[in-house]
């Protein structure tokens, strides 16, 4: 079970709903850019909305890039935070943290599939992972995004918006979701609880 929880302030994120979701689960979390707080936390969350370049610049300005890369405790990336964990993003061709191999690519615009993708999409599990324990395959989660990581060997679950993309990825102690678990009802709450209660 998690003790201290640090939410990295990457700028531009609607943190209130994430903080409330943690509180509903019985956990208090701190929003911070303090390297000592982040480094010593039992769990770290990297959320984000907006532009990858702006978020990466904020992380660099606060001296957090190398710190995040070296974290050993469980880390959860959410939405843009998932893309920041990748090697790079096509959005403004920005280099990201390089923790989970891959490049966040813009979703393709097709008839019936506008970009950004906004709304509830079913998520298909393709690998076992504790973060998805107790969540039925095909459950719906809430997405708001224009970029996503293509499926890869690090993909735990996929969703579709014209084409398949990674909905959940993982590598070592890093887990990330393209959707917003804090806005995804009971299944989103279950994912957050699973993350918070994962063994280190």
| pLDDT of res. 25 | 96
Q: How far is CA 93 from CA 56, 60, 149, 165, in A?
A: 12, 16, 14, 19
Q: Where do the domains of the chain lie, and which CATH numbers do they carry?
A: 5-196 (3.40.50.880)
pLDDT at 135: 98
Mean pLDDT per block of 10 residues along the chain (200 residues) reads 86 82 94 96 93 95 98 97 97 96 95 92 97 97 97 98 97 97 97 92
CA distance 77 to 10: 11
Q: What is the pLDDT of residue 12?
A: 67
Strands 100-106 and 86-89: parallel
The pLDDT assigned to 2 comes to: 65
pLDDT at 112: 85
CA dihedral 60, 64, 65, 69 (to 10 degrees): -170
> What residues act catalytically?
79, 180, 182
pLDDT, position 1: 57
Q: Give the Cα separation of 75 and 68 in Å (integer).
A: 9
């Amino acid at each position: 079970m998690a003790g201290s929880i640090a939410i990295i302030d990457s700028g531009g994120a609607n943190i209130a709903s994430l903080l409330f979701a943690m509180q509903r689960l019985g956990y208090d979390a701190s929003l911070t850019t303090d390297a000592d707080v982040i480094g010593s936390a039992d769990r770290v969350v990297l959320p984000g909305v907006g532009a990858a370049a702006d978020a990466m610049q904020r992380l660099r300005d606060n001296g957090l890039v190398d710190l995040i890369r070296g974290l050993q405790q469980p880390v959860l990336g959410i939405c843009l935070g998932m893309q920041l964990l990748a090697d790079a993003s096509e959005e403004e061709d920005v280099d990201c943290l390089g923790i989970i191999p891959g490049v966040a690519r813009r979703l393709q615009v097709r008839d019936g599939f506008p970009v950004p993708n906004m709304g509830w999409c079913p998520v298909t599990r393709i690998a076992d992972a504790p973060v998805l324990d107790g969540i039925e395959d095909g459950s719906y989660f809430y997405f708001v995004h224009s970029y996503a990581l293509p499926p890869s060997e690090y993909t735990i679950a996929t969703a579709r918006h014209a084409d398949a993309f990674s909905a959940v990825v993982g590598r070592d102690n890093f887990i990330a979701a393209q959707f917003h678990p804090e806005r995804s009802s009971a299944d989103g709450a279950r994912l957050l609880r699973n993350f918070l209660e994962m063994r280190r």
